[in-house]
Amino acid sequence: MTSAPPFTPAPAFLPNSNFNPQYTIDKTPNVQTINIGSWKIEAVKRPILNGKEIDAAEKSLSLPLPEMTFGNNSLRLSYSPSTSSHPSGSRIPSASASDSTSASKEESQVEVVFDSLEALAGVATGEGWEESFGGGVKVSMAEQWKSRSSPNAFSGDLNIPSKPVKPHDWTYSTCYAGSTSGPSTFRPSPTHSLPLPLLARQDPVLDRILFYDDVPLFEDELHDNGESILNVRIRIMPHSFFILSRLFLRVDNVLFRIRDVRLYHALGSDEIVREVAGMEVGYDEVKSHLERQSDLSPLTDVNWVYNQMLSITSRGSYRPNINRSTSSSGESKSAKPWPGLGKVVEVLKLPKNDFEGMREGLESVKI
């Protein structure tokens, strides 16, 4: 009897065989931009908002801003299908054709944006937000947090706020996954997944980093009750780009929350895969995994906490025991879970350029 040959795992899928793509990078003190293929990607990093900008943003959002709000920061990805190349060679278009091409490009342009103030617009506000939105967290300072006017104006010795504001989620647990504009949108897909082996590979040539940035969107220490942080990172390799936007929340002696938004695009392909995953674990449960209970420093290490939470939530029997707030009006009602929990994979189909669409149309014609 002949034995079966030994199993050899397939190599990580490399979506683009061009190891040296053409690209340009432009840097200014606050903006870093890369143009690669049909993409223009711009990372903007500026100082935190000044007093005038804070007042305007708080009025617009009806929300006291986090202590460090990078309200002018963003990561913007713009996709414009190329219409300049033609199978039979280049030609100089007429004025009318040029106008038509420009209008067509604008109609087919897709933008994906991660923006600080857009993210904060997703923070729950209003009377009864705990019941309508869910995810309220109760700590000893919660009542003072509900009515404080500004994180910089709050004084622990002064219990009466200088001005009332709308009730809001003082942990800033936004479910923001970025915004999209253009003819395409993300739709759930049961068949797609992130190519984790490819993203974990570290080949010095195939996976070299052409462009990287880490853009902070907001940070808050929750008046010494923990921390709430939102940032977005991007790395571009010769074959693809990968984005991770992460909300990290630690409320001391109560809970941890992490909500990750991951975007992957194989350069030259016609789709973007987005995975959104949120989890929540009790503070003591994570703390019990410390090597030394007297050393709490790992609890501020986002990557360490993430790995512990992933291990804990992967157990099918795990059920979080969270001290949730009930009603902002003080009424006792059953607590509603945070809506950011769970996992979903979505796909956005990018529009094709004129010649790709024409070619596909001709190929579909049967004579």
Residue 218: φ, ψ to 5°? -160, 160
When comparing pLDDT for 356 and 157, which is higher?
356
pLDDT tens track for 174-229 = 999 999 999 999 999 999 999 999 999 999 999 999 999 999 999 999 999 999 99
Residues 6+ apart with CB under 8 A from 250: 226, 227, 228, 256, 283, 299, 300, 305
Three-state helix/strand/coil letters over 212-228: EEEEEEEEECHHHCEEE
User: What's the CA gap between 81 and 102, in Å, rounded?
Assistant: 11
| pTM for the structure as a whole | 0.81
User: What's the CA gap between 308 and 78, in Å, rounded?
Assistant: 36
Beta bridge partner(s), residue 115? 74
pLDDT tens track for 18-68 = 678 899 999 999 999 999 999 999 999 999 999 999 999 999 999 999 999
> Quick one: CA dihedral 161, 164, 167, 170, positive or negative?
negative
Rg of the chain taking only CA atoms, in angstroms: 24
Residue 364: φ, ψ to 5°? -85, -10
* 139 — pLDDT class (breaks 50, 70, 90): confident
User: What's the CA gap between 344 and 278, in Å, rounded?
Assistant: 9
User: What's the CA gap between 107 and 312, in Å, rounded?
Assistant: 46
For position 315, what pLDDT does the model report? 81
pLDDT tens track for 107-128 = 789 999 999 999 999 999 998 8
* 335 — pLDDT class (breaks 50, 70, 90): confident
CA 164 from chain centre, in angstroms, equals 31
